[in-house]
Every structure is written in structure tokens, then in C-alpha cells.
Amino acid sequence: MSFGSRMRAAADAYGPLCVGIDPHASLLEAWGVGDSLDGLERFADACVQAFAGRVGFVKPQSAFFERFGARGVAVLERTIAGLRHTGSLVILDVKRGDIGSTAAAYAQAYLDDDAPMAVDAVTVSPYLGLRSVDPFFEVAEKNDAGVFVLALTSNPDAPTVQHASTGEQTVAGAVLADLARRNTGAAPLGSAGAVVGATIGQTSEDLAINGPLLVPGFGAQGGTTDDLRRLFGDVWPQVIASSSRGILAAGPDPAALRASAERVNAELVYS
């Protein structure tokens, strides 16, 4: 099955919530496990126990594992292995962006199904040019994986780039149009997704890309269910709403984490 088909199936089966697995130093301390490699391992194990096969989507943030060096990356690799093929789709938040053979190498590292850190989808940046992400889509297509391209992020100074005009459209509009082109004719959804922040307020851009919309910033970062429904309207069924701190604050007990995710998911069920 294509990623778009698997996304639709996972959302229908489990709901649209994506749990961000972000081991911030402050969170590890709040859990009482310590900001250390041992604390990272205990955090990751609890998340696997809590969320594998219980939510439709999980999104590990690679940087919070990488900061521990090679041993932290090894924990990430084990975490991915524990989450994949359980019913939960793993979206690795790496925001890679490069060109040519380097982009292809990144794509093979995360999207080739035989790779040690293979996941179901990754996040990428298109700001070296729209064609710079082509290698990710090429590898993704061969492996039925997905690619989420940064389009309308909610960091405060993003509009200086994303709202800049390229002539007839904005930079963000060009990104979204390119994704819509890649998804032409796909059913039930294409596998080319966009990242759109929950706290951007409003937009006049066309979000109907016939593909998944990964929406960070929901929950503790300020985005509400009402914000999502207002912002996404008719494309609401394509939304994967990502929350991390608001759910992870219930840890470290896996049962409490699972219950926290279930409460949030219940608010988001498509209607």
C-alpha cells in the first residue's frame, strides 16, 4: 500500500493524532529519569510501550536523540524498530534538505525499507529549491513511503520566506502547488504531504493537495481543536495533528501516557 493509503487506513482505525516523541532535557528531568543516555533509553521504552499499535502516528524528533551522539542514535534506531509494523506509522522529524547525491543518501537512510532506520515518512525542507526534494520522493515511491514538505510553518519569522512572492504566487503556494501536482490522481490520498502549523492563524493558500497534512503546534504549543477545524475546513480529513509535550507530560508511566493520548485523540476524531 502507498503511504497515502496507509495514512488513511491508520487515521480511520486509530484517529488523526500523531504523538511527538521529543525527549527534551527538561522533560527527562520532569519524568525523574535524568537528562542522560540512561534517561533517554527509559523515556524511549516507555513511549514504545504506551503508543505502539495504540495511536495511528508517532513522530520521533531526531535531534533530541542525536544530541547524545552515536549511542543516542542507536536508541532512536531501537525506538523506530519498536514502533514500526505495529499499526502505528512512524514519521521521523528530520527536516533534511540538500541536493543531488546528498539528498539521495538522506532519503536512502530513512526511506529505503532495508535501511537500519527505515521509517514510514520523513519531514524535509524545500528551501534549496523544489527540485531539491525530488530524491526523497523517488526513494519514497520505491518503498511506499511518505514525504512531508515544510510549507506553512508557525515559527514567528517564517512568513518572511514562506509568504514572499515568486510572481504569481507565494513561496508557500508554490510548495503546495507542487505537492498537489505530485498527488494528482492518487486515491484515497497521495503520499506527498505538507507541514502546516496549527498556530498560523489563517491562510489564503490552497491546502487541498490531495495528500496528508502534518500539523505540529497542537496542544501545549497553543493550537486547539477549534483552530484546526477553522483552518483546515474541507480538508480536515487529511489532517494529522501532532502533539508532544501535552501528552508526554503524563509520563513516565506507559498507562498514563496511553490514557493521555486517548483523551486527546477523542477530541480530534474526524466528523
Range of the domain at 206: 3-268
**pLDDT at res. 97:** 93
User: Do 172 and 199 meet the contact criterion of CB atoms below 8 Å apart?
Assistant: no
**pLDDT at res. 269:** 78
3-state helix/strand/coil string of the chain: CCHHHHHHHHHHHHCCEEEEECCCHHHHHHHCCCCCHHHHHHHHHHHHHHHCCCCCEEEEEHHHHHCCCHHHHHHHHHHHHHHCCCCCEEEEEEEECCCHHHHHHHHHHHHCCCCCCCCCEEEECCCCCHHHHHHHHHHHHHCCCEEEEEEECCCCCCHHHHCCECCCCEHHHHHHHHHHHHCCCCCCCCCEEEEECCCCCCCCCCCCCCCCEEECCECCCCECHHHHHHHHHHHHHHEEEEECHHHHCCCCCHHHHHHHHHHHHHHHCCC
Q: What is the CATH number of the domain that holds 197?
A: 3.20.20.70
Residue among 106, 208, 87, 188 at smallest CA distance from 147: 106
Q: pLDDT tens-digit profile of 19-57?
A: 999 999 999 999 999 999 999 999 999 999 999 999 999
Residue among 26, 42, 20 at smallest CA distance from 218: 20
Catalytic residue from among 95, 130, 225, 235: 95
**pLDDT at res. 44:** 98
Positions in the chain short of pLDDT 70: 219-222, 270-271
**pLDDT at res. 221:** 67
Burial 214-241 (b: 16+ CB within 10 A, else e): bbbbbbebebeeebbeebbeebbbbbbb
**pLDDT at res. 226:** 84
Told to judge if 142 belongs to the known catalytic residues of this protein, a careful annotator would answer: no
**pLDDT at res. 254:** 98
**pLDDT at res. 167:** 83
Instruction: Domain count for the chain, please give it.
Output: 1
**pLDDT at res. 155:** 86
